[in-house]
Amino acid sequence: MDEFSPSPAPDKNSKAQSSEIQTIPSLDRMSSSQTTLRQVKLDLEHPDPKVRVLAVQYLQQEDPSTALPLLQEALTDRDPEVRAQGIHSLSQLQDPAVSPLLKKYLSDRDPGVRTAALRGLFRRIGKVDLNLLRQFLSDGSPWVRRKVATLLGWTQMEGVFPILIEMSKDQDVQVRKAALFSMMTLYPEEAEDRLLDAMTDPDRDLRRWAKQALERIVVNSMKEKGPRAGKDQREGR
């Protein structure tokens, strides 16, 4: 055949076979996904909470229209670890209905769920209403109060200084220490006065920690001023 001759028209059966070959993998993937989802729904009713946790964890990669109703059901689970994982998976979804649900579970009966809900809100919106944060000042769990004090330092949210001041006076020593640490991160100058107060704290370990923290501040300040003072002397200031 001449190399410039038109190529023969493809056979219709070949086209159909090619289309079928391309479609079959896609159908297989869809069928596999549906099978997995059916298994996840069954696992959400499994008697072992560890299995239910894994099922809830899987849902965070699903489309919100599929995952949201199932996660809402998981949030009523009797096991707190399942509810906490439900909160975490929920916070990964890009859906406007998520934030109101997270706020609802800030008052869950389990400390881990309450903390997970607060983390989820910070992750989604960055800035949480200060009134919502204030409710944690009287939370019944010292562990939750300490987590909140630490979280405030990580998120570097503005306007939380009064809350950290109150938390630095908490009845639990670990909460006081966490609040002071976050204060040093967000408000280093104001924190110095609070560290001086902490040197008279009833807890001996906290007094020692506050003293060491102040000493580090003084040393760092001298290091910063040293090169600057030498430069000023050389320039005759």
Task: Give Cα separations from 198 to 104, 164, 167, 202, 205 (angstroms).
Answer: 36, 14, 12, 9, 10
Neighbours of 132 (CB within 10 A): 12
At how many degrees (to 10) do helices 80-91 and 49-59 cross?
Answer: 10
Higher pLDDT, 131 or 5: 131
Q: What is the DSSP string of 103-116?
A: HHGGG-SSHHHHHH
Q: Which domains does the chain have, with CATH numbers?
A: 34-125 (1.25.10.10), 135-237 (1.25.10.10)
**pLDDT for res 220:** 79
Give the other-Cβ count within 10 Å of 161's Cβ: 15
pLDDT over threshold 70, residue 161: yes
Task: State pLDDT tens for residues 71-118.
Answer: 999 999 999 999 999 999 999 998 999 999 999 999 999 999 999 999
Q: Residues 6 or more apart from 96 whose CB is under 8 A from it?
A: none
The structure's pTM equals 0.73
